[in-house]
Amino acid sequence: MANSKQETTRNAKRSCSELELSDLESSAQHFERWFIIPDAHSDMPLSKLSPFVIEKAIKCSVGTVSTVKRMRSGDLLIEAASAAQGKCISILTSLANTAITVSAHRTLNTSKGVIKCRELIDCDKAEILEELRTQVVSDINNIMVKGNDGVRRNTNTFIVTFRLPTLPKHIKIGYLRVPVAVYIPNLLRCFKCQRFAHGQKVCRREVVCAKCGQTGHSDRDCRNEAKCPNCSGSHSAFSRDCPKWIQEKQVQIIKAEKGVSFPEARRLASSGYTTSSTSQTHSMAAVIKQINKAFPSLDCLFALSTHRQDSLG
């Protein structure tokens, strides 16, 4: 009995050191990668310099970087090739004798994942954030569901935001090592113009019928034949069979999985890049569907969720 206890302790010690090692290894791959250098309105703005001068100045200051792009605003977007180079870029104060300020890109350096952890359900959010600060977690939100009685309940599913461009595979929650799945946000379709990737609040286009695709009326009383405004197929704009919807969803999955911008994800999708078949991906709709299926037994959900491959949701 005593021997088996000793054995258990030894095994626990071994797996602990292995765990720390693998966590260290994986954290080395995650670093702030994208930086913005605003086109300062000084006597010598960066946009007035030739691309040759800018390329040489960057190379002299920090070495060869992965990407340099000029954004529509005129600002420079730089992708660091390594963690050390990222640090060098972040402290740059001048480029080609022009004073600059560098900041980390607001969204490209963050990633969102889904975790299942019933042990977190009763923890305070401030406590969780404080404890996970060293793993660069900037936000965590519980998915809540409404039961048949109308009461909202917490679930064991959390959406975690990391200040990292690439999602870590695991997160340490105290003594637990919890797998992190890619979180894919729902694909937005504008209820006004029916196009994708924006909401009706910001839409300046004409009203388009979701059923027949014609302008000037909504689909509520429409008796016309179905014609999709996005692909002209014989289905409504909200059909999940719409090839345009499937294409946009694919772009969104690539964006989440690869941690790249929308234009880059579109480029990858059109060049035939396919999403990882082994990584778990979770859209909000799929997460909710999964919870509803398992509700009200949270234990059942916990067991169900960790090994399931989601549909495109």
| Positions that interact with Zn ion (CB under 5 A) | 190, 192-193, 203, 205, 209, 211-212, 222, 224, 228, 230-231, 233, 242, 244
Give the Cα separation of 36 and 106 in Å (integer). Answer: 9
**CB nearer to Zn ion: pick between 151 and 202:** 202
User: Considering the complex, what minimum distance in angstroms separates the CB of residue 313 from Zn ion?
Assistant: 18
- Record the tokens describing residue 123, joined without a space: 């923890």
**CB nearer to Zn ion: pick between 117 and 210:** 210
SS3 content of the chain, % helix, strand, coil (to 5): 35, 20, 45
168 in Cβ contact with 269 (< 8 Å): no
**CB nearer to Zn ion: pick between 171 and 242:** 242
> With left for phi above 0 and alpha for psi between -120 and 50, is residue 164 left, alpha or beta?
beta
User: Considering the complex, what minimum distance in angstroms separates the CB of residue 163 from Zn ion?
Assistant: 31
Give the Cα separation of 139 and 143 in Å (integer). Answer: 13
Strands of the chain, DSSP E: 34-37, 67-70, 76-79, 94-95, 98-99, 103-104, 111-116, 137-146, 152-162, 170-173, 176-179, 181-184, 281-283
User: Considering the complex, what minimum distance in angstroms separates the CB of residue 289 from Zn ion?
Assistant: 23
**CB nearer to Zn ion: pick between 216 and 272:** 216
**CB nearer to Zn ion: pick between 188 and 304:** 188
Give the Cα separation of 18 and 5 in Å (integer). Answer: 20
User: Considering the complex, what minimum distance in angstroms separates the CB of residue 161 from Zn ion?
Assistant: 27
User: Considering the complex, what minimum distance in angstroms separates the CB of residue 252 from Zn ion?
Assistant: 16
